Structure 1
Amino acid sequence: DPRFPLTGGVDVKYGLSSNLVLNLTGNTDFADTEVDLEPFNITPFKVFIPEKRQFFLENSGVFNFSLGDRDQLFFSRQIGIDPVTGNQVPINGGAKLTGRIGRLELGVMDVDTRSSGSNPYSNFAVARLKESLWAGSYVGVMGIDKRSGDVLDRFNRTGGVDTRLVFFKDWFVDAHAAGTQSPGNLSGNSDVGASLTYRSNWVEGIVERRKTGPNFNPEVGFVERPDSNETYGDVTFKVRPSVPGVRELQFEGFILHAPDTLGQVSTQEWQNTFRAEFHSGAYTDDDIVDVFTQRITSPFHIYKNVFIPVGLYHFTRHQLTYGSGQDRKFTYNFFERFGSYYGGALNEFRVRANYRPTAKFSISASQTWDRFHLRLPNGNFSVVLASVQGNYSFNRFLTFTSIVQMDTSNTQAVSANLRLRYNYRPDSDLYIIYNVGTQFASIAPANPPQVRESRFAIKYTYSWQR
């Protein structure tokens, strides 16, 4: 019956030596992967959603190539997931070799995906080498080659070198240079940056310079904003006063100046933050002032038929956060951010609570409420995101997890993920999974419409060791 397809796959993990591991996968199925929590993007930039699929997570650290902040030269979610819709793209097979040979850390990966919807057949080849120097220091190289069945975008190549140098335990120098190549071989396709960081018990600071060309396009990476000439500075002072109940106070300030590569103002921000940590585990994290300048170069889709028009905007925001200690049966945190926003006003309120009465049962609930008052037609609206997650262990072999999410933004959607797992022997499982509703896995900017899905799956895995 085509409505209930029966598929099979294979995953192999083989230790070539004590320091080298080979992972193989064929017709890969990620039905047992934890679902993504629903984001609502209030910025004109991409959303970073962390990787959760086991094949890509295992020994993933070797593939890290930081470009600054959350930007990465290699981002595994670009393989097997449509970045706009969040739909899974079927994986024919893949191989990954990771480990260490002497002072050399290496990672090599090759993955094939088949044509699905608007996504053509693609092959992804990744190689990463890092040579250890003195304590905490390294120099590395990375190469990525994407081949595609898309006649307009047949290939995308990415290469880079990076280093971290540690001096006197407290000083860190990070630097990188990377470039991309696509059909047309456009100029302005490089990313170069360096930073100097100091860390001690009482003060932390960083100064960073980075230039990202307008045509720098690592299709298998994550770059929040191209065409940027960024200068960034941040300093945090930490004190431990003789005040009952107070463990540490922190005072932080940073400045970001990021015009485009032609010198036109694009993004500017400066912020002052106060934090307090208490002996009970509770904390506060308060932005006293957060001042933005942001240029919108194309209409920004924020909600249904509401678009923020092109222009240069200035706004100021403030933030209050309080969280309880995390070592109790009941924990919670509150977040409130308010102020001006693209010619209007925005108030963001978030609350999350977790309750774990026994070792077998836990439940958590969260809600985000964003209230917009924009000087635009239909500019007064609210967006509510909510989720409830539950976990119950019948015994050490049988567990049930569930998550229900609600979204009143562009999709007006509700989704549910129910998963029963029977771990009948080490690394061998039987899963029964039911997903219904809207997927929330898009990393694209401007909140594109999401895709509805109903899926019932039974997944059986069996592993053995030679």
Structure 2
Amino acid sequence: MKKAIFLVLTVFSLIDLSIAQRKINADYRLHIKEISDPITIDGVMDEETWLQAEVATDFYMIIPMDTSYSSVRTDVRMAYDDKHIYILVENFHALDGPYMVESLRRDFSFGKNDNFIFFMDPFDDQLNGFSFGANAAGAQWDGIMFNGGQIDLSWDNKWISKVTNYDDRWVFEAAIPFKSIRYKGGITEWGINFSRMDLKTTEKSGWAPVPRQFPSASLAYTGVLVWDTPPPSPGPNVSVIPYALGGMNQNVQEGQAAEFRNAFGMDAKIGLSSSMNLDLTVNPDFSQVEVDRQVTNLDRFELFFPERRQFFLENGDIFGNFGYETIRPFFSRRVGLDAPILGGARLSGRINKDWRVGAMSMQTAAVPENNLGGQNYSVISLQRRVFSRSNIGAILVNRQSAPFEPGTGESKTFSEYNRNFGMEFNYASSNNLWTGKAFMLNSFSPVQGHGMVYASNLRYSSGNLTWNWRHEYVSDNYTAEVGFVPRTGFYKASPSVGYLFFPKSKKILSHGPEVNVNLFYDTGWELTDNESFLVYSVRFRSQSNLFIWGAYDYIKLQQPFDPTNFSGDLLESGTEHQWYSLGGEFRSKPQSLFTYSFSGRVGGYFADGERYNSVGEIGYRIQPYFGMTMSANYNEIHLPEPWSVTSFWLIGPRIDLTLTNTFFITTFVQYNEQIKNINLNARLQWRFAPASDIFLVLTDNYLPAPFYTKDRSVALKFTYWWNL
């Protein structure tokens, strides 16, 4: 094992040393100076500061081609004072016609809106940063950046902006407080890039050029923001975010009376330095978070749903991105899953340009009626930057049960403790063509004993060719009670290769095949799964997409399994199943007010059965105020007795009403025949001040037939972001 890890590290280091270490777009430099007169955020360029500011212009096209300047003109100016960073952007029209947006909702879909977004790398390490922007109707976008170009849009912070529309352009102006971001004091160069999406021309462009195989958010290709003096210190940086909540819960199905509740709590954000933050929470409540969208589950293993709670999001990658998507030693949604959170603290940020640290401890209450004692969840993570854009990290995760005397039996969910320790190497070459990861994990539990994981991958992405090799090992007794590891006891090999053609066509942007293979073996090296598929994709210049695929599946069940996840009848462990299937998908262009997508599959299934699936979604919008979508998913499964023919629907209409960019009403209904449930969720949000909200949330669950209410809840919540 040690030899394998040494070999992986050697390969990564040789690749990195073979590539020039100088920042790729270091010659793209924008100078930012202190304001000469006060700036009013109104989307009007009438201040002297903007007339004197240096202009970033002559953007490069990223798509459809990355070999020329964009036909769409974009001019960017930046300035600052002792409290804010200011930006003003003129987004000129290249073609006549109205702008195209989905709505005024915050954190819009990038590819479905005329928008401008910029990416800041305040440590100039090309790995982590912040993203801000707006669409042409004024809806805000903000997110925290990690892994060199990924963005978590669940992160919200305090800043202001305004969009003003003119006949020939739309203007975006914003003020971002230094207190809302993290940066290293004393340095005068930040990484930065600007991205423009113009749906009338279907062009995506960037100030510093980015190859089309990478997102415009790729921090490896940022230019340089040059400060005339080091950015000012944010000064005392303490924010208190109290909340008050009132509501009602009623379990109608159990015949219970309505239970009224009220709650008070508080979060606090304390800036220990410009790059280090301490978050505190007391009696948190997350009732305003949107419920998870339901899915049809025909999988043998647990499904993943992302974290949406604000407290866990800033610098969340240092905790939650350790490992792979199905091997996570820490998954914050485990915290508070079975019991209310009493409080917690989280320290995260940078010690300097090379070192990042994260430490978190959360305490939950005991739930005697479930024989569940209080739990403490703690995690410590440390990262050290190496090479140009890589890092080595370590993580320690601990869940500890408080002393507890259950009424009957033992604790319902947890052993006395569960601990995980791991180390990880994340690799990214300076030009982002090569990326990879290698990690090891060890678990310790009084019930399962000692377990381990090791895994690694190496990926290459050029303009045409993409390939990846990945392998994993998870021992039978590995446990991560605070993580997400739906499957244990296997070896896995996952090679993939794809190639894209870029024809000289007025309608097709790119097309090409991709082959993926996932091979699972048990710990005795007997093949248990072979998931192989070939997909051919076509991307049109209009931004519509077509996918056609074929797949082969072989599965030797390691546990009994109900192939419908519906009937309760099980296939026996050890039985073998194989089949072929075909499918396709088409998504229409996002510029139209009426949009649609559909997909389908036909082919075999478990027990020599057959599965037919069709999925469709239609949408219509009256921009920017109203949007409605209707999605439907139908499955029909043909199996021998005792299952016979099983069919079920998942239907989900959704309505979005965005009267302004601070007032939103979202309503959706989910009819899930597989679990015999109808869910209604209506959510009103009024952002009456930056990062301060009033929420009204109604959630009902119904039994489809005979139709009656199973449970109901109503919550009214007030939050206010108060800077001390």
Query: TM-score normalised to the size of structure 2?
Result: 0.59
The number of residue pairs the alignment matches comes to: 446
Per the alignment, residue 390 of structure 1 pairs with: 655
Residues 396 and 277 of structure 1: CA distance in aligned 2, closer, same or farther (over 3 Å): closer
Q: Which of these two proteins has the greater Rg computed from alpha carbons?
A: 2
Deviation at 1:329, TM superposition (A): 2.1
Residues 178 and 44 of structure 1: CA distance in aligned 2, closer, same or farther (over 3 Å): same
> Is the CA contact (8 Å cut-off) linking 1:306 and 1:379 kept in structure 2?
no
Per the alignment, residue 109 of structure 2 pairs with: none
SS in 2 for 1:62: helix
Structure 1 distance, partners of 2:631, 2:699, is: 20
Structure 1 distance, partners of 2:348, 2:319, is: 9
Structure 1 distance, partners of 2:268, 2:591, is: 38
Structure 1 distance, partners of 2:612, 2:322, is: 32
Per the alignment, residue 53 of structure 1 pairs with: 309
Deviation at 1:113, TM superposition (A): 1.4
Residues 396 and 239 of structure 1: CA distance in aligned 2, closer, same or farther (over 3 Å): closer
Paired letter, 1:459 = K
Determine if the alignment matches structure 1 residue 178 to structure 2 residue 431: no
> Is the CA contact (8 Å cut-off) linking 2:693 and 2:718 kept in structure 1?
yes
Per the alignment, residue 237 of structure 1 pairs with: 499
Structure 2 distance, partners of 1:128, 1:379, is: 51
Matches within 5 A, 1:242-391: 242-287=504-549, 289-301=550-562, 302-310=565-573, 311-343=575-607, 344-391=609-656
Residues 127 and 319 of structure 1: CA distance in aligned 2, closer, same or farther (over 3 Å): same
> Is the CA contact (8 Å cut-off) linking 1:387 and 1:405 kept in structure 2?
yes
Per the alignment, residue 418 of structure 1 pairs with: 682
Deviations 1:70-94 (A, max 9, x none): 4322111111124xxxxxx311111
The answer to which structure has the higher strand fraction is 1
2:365 corresponds to which of 114, 122, 127 = 114
1:134 corresponds to which of 379, 384, 387 = 387
Per the alignment, residue 460 of structure 1 pairs with: 718
Q: CA RMSD in A?
A: 2.0
Per the alignment, residue 33 of structure 2 pairs with: none
Deviations 1:9-58 (A, max 9, x none): 11112222211122211111111101100122112111111111121223
Deviation at 1:185, TM superposition (A): 5.3
Deviation at 1:382, TM superposition (A): 0.6
> Is the CA contact (8 Å cut-off) linking 1:178 and 1:191 kept in structure 2?
yes
Per the alignment, residue 669 of structure 2 pairs with: 404
Paired letter, 1:428 = S
> Is the CA contact (8 Å cut-off) linking 2:388 and 2:429 kept in structure 1?
no
Residues 452 and 38 of structure 1: CA distance in aligned 2, closer, same or farther (over 3 Å): farther
Residues 327 and 309 of structure 1: CA distance in aligned 2, closer, same or farther (over 3 Å): farther
Per the alignment, residue 72 of structure 1 pairs with: 328
SS in 1 for 2:611: strand
Per the alignment, residue 159 of structure 2 pairs with: none
1:20 corresponds to which of 276, 297, 307 = 276
Determine if the alignment matches structure 1 residue 93 to structure 2 residue 357: no
Q: Which range moves more in the overlay, 374-383 or 149-158?
A: 149-158
Query: TM-score normalised to the size of structure 1?
Result: 0.91
Deviations 1:86-122 (A, max 9, x none): xxx3111111122111111122111111133534321
Q: Which range moves more in the overlay, 124-133 or 391-400?
A: 391-400
Deviation at 1:438, TM superposition (A): 6.6
Deviations 1:235-260 (A, max 9, x none): 01111122330001121112222111
> Is the CA contact (8 Å cut-off) linking 1:65 and 1:73 kept in structure 2?
no
Per the alignment, residue 86 of structure 1 pairs with: none
Residues 126 and 336 of structure 1: CA distance in aligned 2, closer, same or farther (over 3 Å): same
Structure 1 distance, partners of 2:490, 2:392, is: 25
Paired letter, 1:383 = F
Per the alignment, residue 35 of structure 1 pairs with: 291
**Between the two proteins, what is the percent identity of the paired residues?**
25
Deviations 1:168-222 (A, max 9, x none): 63223410000101114535x1000121211111101111221110111111111
Deviations 1:348-371 (A, max 9, x none): 111122222121211222111011
Structure 1 distance, partners of 2:539, 2:634, is: 26
Structure 2 distance, partners of 1:120, 1:331, is: 50
Structure 1 distance, partners of 2:281, 2:710, is: 27
Paired letter, 1:97 = L
Residues 162 and 316 of structure 1: CA distance in aligned 2, closer, same or farther (over 3 Å): same
Q: Which runs of 5+ in 2 are unaligned?
A: 1-247, 249-257, 403-409, 704-708
